[in-house]
Amino acid sequence: MKVTVIGTGYVGLVTGTCLAHFGLDVTCADIDKEKIKKLKAGQCPIYEPGLLELIHKGVAAGRLHFSDQTEAAIPGAEVIFLAVGTPPAPDGSADMTYVFEAVKTISKCHKGYQVIVTKSTVPVGTGSKIEAIMAKEHSKESFAVASNPEFLREGCAVGDFLNPDRIVLGCDDPKGLDVLLKLYKPMRENDAPIVVTNRATAELIKYASNGFLAVKITFINEISKLCEEVGADVMMVSKGMGMDGRIGPKFLQPGPGYGGSCFPKDTRALLDVAKASGVKLKVVEAAVEANEDQVERAVAKISKAAGSLKGLPVAMLGLAFKGDTDDVRESPALKIAKRLIEAGATVRAHDPAAADNATREAPAIKAFPDPYEAASGAKALVIATEWNEFKSLDWEKLRKALSAPVVIDLRNLYNPEQLREAGFTYISLGRQ
């Protein structure tokens, strides 16, 4: 089966590469010529563990191709995935420009029977709009429009795609659904659970999932505030809660707020969809508001521990929105760094993969290739991203490098007693 993936970013590249791994003939197309040039040269334009090896395998097997000519990649494909960005518009709704531009290109080049599938996260009703654009030029029998939302997590995207918790297929056209069931046959044979439903429901499953996870993260962040006031330990609260099968331990770690390219924009877009439908989603609304407070809470903790921010040299470990990624979109770490700089601090940072992306967005951040150089002369050390390698730092070396032994751990990575015994003033979230 021939497949085209339009948009070769975090989702499109992983989708295309993994589908090629399962034996499909895949062309990943993107308008970003630099991205395609890198891929053709055997390089991966994003940091995603395990992806480059799989790209090399797919290319070597002759099943994975890259093109900066989206038009040319459309005829001949039985399935066309839309994996372009759906960034937030200023009013919080999803900006659908890239999706509809790509659909216009598909319509221009459409041939034979083709199934158009949204992998991008799109508001409910987008499938119907795509159908209407296509129907202006083509008979309704020549195409189907389906929703197949993606749930992968950056940092473990390949594993998530190959072994998904579920595959959601929303298609109101039985012929289109058959094509997608055939496409996913290898994964279904690997026992991947599958949810088949109508298109609008599939579209909503994605937003509802992200809305729920954002609420869960925000809930534990709120509880961590209460822990600080009543002498409780949020890590134990989280553990005790997570052992309940009805709750589960995931997304129950306190931190500087949810970020990344999905939760912030998807929660706002969900609220926008609800508003347009005359429904008030009070819980999601509260989560969005509470999450926005987390950055200020972090900045307040830093200034309480280290004193006036004016002229304060701060070392920051982590700039990515989470560990194992170079993505800084809506990264709380980056937001905190920017706020510190606005308040007059200097930020010396280290991130194993995201420093280039972060300094492009905030050139005032001084990036260093290792944590000890970043710490040199700083009066506070902020742990902002939960990279695994930050779990085994040389604290003796850090204490010598810092000009004041103050650690503000926004990820609760360390044992408070051990850090205090090692001579640090140690502040974390929801613990004494």
Ligand X SMILES: NC(=O)c1ccc[n+]([C@@H]2O[C@H](COP(=O)([O-])OP(=O)(O)OC[C@H]3O[C@@H](n4cnc5c(N)ncnc54)[C@H](O)[C@@H]3O)[C@@H](O)[C@H]2O)c1
Residues with a catalytic annotation lie at 262
| Residue 51 sits in the site that holds ligand X (CB under 6 A) | no
The tokens describing 315, both together, are: 């070392």
Footprint of ligand X on residues 351-390 (CB under 6 A)? none
Euclidean distance between CA atoms 237 and 96, whole angstroms? 41
> What are the CA-CA distances from residue 39 to residues 52, 231, 361, 429 (Å)?
9, 52, 24, 41
Euclidean distance between CA atoms 94 and 32, whole angstroms? 21
| Residue 121 sits in the site that holds ligand X (CB under 6 A) | yes
The minimum distance between CB 211 and ligand X, in angstroms, equals 13
For tokens 């044979």, what's the residue? Answer: 189
Q: Which of 77, 109, 124, 152 binds ligand X (CB under 6 A)?
A: 152
Size of the site for ligand X (CB under 6 A): 28
| Residue 98 sits in the site that holds ligand X (CB under 6 A) | yes
39 neighbors 28 (Cβ within 8 angstroms): yes
| Residue 101 sits in the site that holds ligand X (CB under 6 A) | yes
**Smaller CB distance to ligand X: residue 108 or 182?**
108
The minimum distance between CB 45 and ligand X, in angstroms, equals 8
Footprint of ligand X on residues 57-96 (CB under 6 A)? 70, 83-86
Footprint of ligand X on residues 175-204 (CB under 6 A)? none
Euclidean distance between CA atoms 114 and 131, whole angstroms? 12
Span near ligand X by CB under 6 A; candidates 5-13, 169-177, 311-319, 360-368: 5-13
Question: Which residues are 194's β-sheet partners?
Answer: 167
Backbone angles phi, psi at 315, to 5 degrees: -95, 135
The minimum distance between CB 4 and ligand X, in angstroms, equals 10
| Residue 107 sits in the site that holds ligand X (CB under 6 A) | no
| Residue 331 sits in the site that holds ligand X (CB under 6 A) | no
The minimum distance between CB 387 and ligand X, in angstroms, equals 17
The minimum distance between CB 102 and ligand X, in angstroms, equals 4
Span near ligand X by CB under 6 A; candidates 17-25, 98-106, 289-297, 300-308: 98-106
DSSP 272-312: HHHHHTT---HHHHHHHHHHHHHHHHHHHHHHHHH---TT-
Q: Which of 4, 17, 27, 120 binds ligand X (CB under 6 A)?
A: 120
**Smaller CB distance to ligand X: residue 43 or 403?**
43
Instruction: State the Cα torsion 62-68-74-79 to the nearest 10°.
Output: 60
| Residue 12 sits in the site that holds ligand X (CB under 6 A) | yes
| Residue 6 sits in the site that holds ligand X (CB under 6 A) | yes
Task: Spell out the residues 6+ positions from residue 421 whose beta carbon is closer than 8 angstroms to its own.
Answer: none
| Residue 34 sits in the site that holds ligand X (CB under 6 A) | no
**Smaller CB distance to ligand X: residue 49 or 377?**
49
- What stretches of 231-280 show up as alpha helix (H) in DSSP? 234-242, 263-276
Segment (H or E) for 359: helix 355-361
**Smaller CB distance to ligand X: residue 41 or 230?**
41
| Residue 213 sits in the site that holds ligand X (CB under 6 A) | no
In 3-state terms, what secondary structure has residue 322?
coil
Euclidean distance between CA atoms 124 and 130, whole angstroms? 12
Task: Spell out the residues 6+ positions from residue 93 whose beta carbon is closer than 8 angstroms to its own.
Answer: 123, 268, 269, 272
The tokens describing 126, both together, are: 């987008």
| Residue 170 sits in the site that holds ligand X (CB under 6 A) | no
Amino acid at 202: A
**Smaller CB distance to ligand X: residue 257 or 313?**
257
| Residue 29 sits in the site that holds ligand X (CB under 6 A) | yes
Euclidean distance between CA atoms 136 and 196, whole angstroms? 28
Q: Which of 48, 150, 203, 351 binds ligand X (CB under 6 A)?
A: 150
The minimum distance between CB 47 and ligand X, in angstroms, equals 12
- Return residues touching ligand X (CB under 6 A): 6-12, 29-32, 35, 70, 83-86, 98, 101-102, 105, 120-121, 150, 152, 154, 261-262
